[in-house]
Amino acid sequence: MQIIKARDYEDMSVKAAEVVISHLKQNPALNIGFATGGTPVGLYEHLIEDHKKHQTSYQEVTSFNLDEYIGLSYDHPQSYHSYMKEHLFNHIDIRQDQIFIPKSNSLDPETACAAYEDALFTHGGIDTQILGIGSNGHIGFNEPGTSFQSNTHIVQLEESTRAANARYFNTISEVPTHAITMGIASIMRSKEILLLVSGQSKKDALYHLLHGEETEDFPASILKRHPRVTVIADHDARGES
Ligand code: F6R
């Protein structure tokens, strides 16, 4: 696991964008795994800025999102479909038919999960997976206790996760209770993982990741087993004085 020390959120975002852009230069047909949430917003801003300034193209890129809520229409402002459009896809030249986000509103979500795994496999898997981390160690929506062997599946969100995400909704009761997420095994099949960690609220999670035991009770702990993980963590998340 390689650790890149960033000063603050902005520096973390710049450093993450540099990694993604350099990979895109080497392989314009990169398969990128995207995360949502607050952490990667700055990274996406820098990717957009670079696309506008240097015309870095996403026309050959295929994207896979980690997760999507069940029960929100895709055009609901807090759906991850909307998030990705707002924060990235509307501002770059990615092809619509190359964008994959779990079809969480399908009438048969179990089949949608299997279809998502098929799409990942057919496209040769994810080259660079961007991840954030929950304060309880979740990655994607894989909450503590999720099997390390899990593929894309339906999850019930923990109350702590719903509470953390309530900031985007009017009340916590509006936060969906379920989602589809790529599983731990699906994430671990990515060729490279870029984990972004920012802020004091992630300090304990980062400490556990770096120094704690490997356990399904702390999903991110599996990342130590992956041969190519880069953690970009800012000063507050590292908790250094
Ligand atoms: C988002 C996702 C989640 C977040 C995590 C951290 O697609 O899968 O695992 O990465 O909840 O969220 P933020 O970045 O909002 O702290």
d(CA 218, CA 27): 33
Which member of 136, 153, 234, 236 is catalytic? 136
Q: Could you state, in order of their start, the residue ranges of all structural domains in the chain?
A: 2-238
**Contact indicator for 89, 133 with CB cutoff of 8 Å:** no
d(CA 238, CA 235): 5
Structure pTM? 0.96
Q: What are phi and psi of 144, to 5 degrees?
A: -50, 135
Q: What's the gap in Å between 8 CA and the centre of ligand 1? A: 18
β-pair type (128-131, 31-34): parallel
Beta bridge partners of 34: 65
Q: What is the DSSP letter of 92?
A: S
Query: In whole angstroms, how large is the CA radius of gyration of the chain?
Result: 17
Q: What is the pLDDT of residues 43-90, one digit of tens each?
A: 999 999 999 999 999 999 999 999 999 999 999 999 999 999 999 999
Domain 2-238 has CATH 3.30.230.70: no
Q: Which atom of ligand 1 is the closest one to the Cα of 138?
A: 9
| ipTM score above 0.95 | yes
Tens-level pLDDT at each residue, the chain (241 residues): 999 999 999 999 999 999 999 999 999 999 999 999 999 999 999 999 999 999 999 999 999 999 999 999 999 999 999 999 999 999 999 999 999 999 999 989 999 999 999 999 999 999 999 999 999 999 999 999 999 999 999 999 989 889 999 999 999 999 999 999 999 999 999 999 999 999 999 999 999 999 999 999 999 999 999 999 999 999 999 998 7
What is the 3-state secondary structure of 151-220?
Answer: CCEEEECCHHHHHHHHHHCCCHHHCCCEEEECCHHHHHCCCEEEEEECCHHHHHHHHHHHHCCCCCCCHH
Answer yes or no: 136 catalytic.
Answer: yes
User: Quick one: pLDDT at residue 240?
Assistant: 83
The residue nearest atom 2 of ligand 1, judged by CA position, is: 140
User: Quick one: pLDDT at residue 186?
Assistant: 98
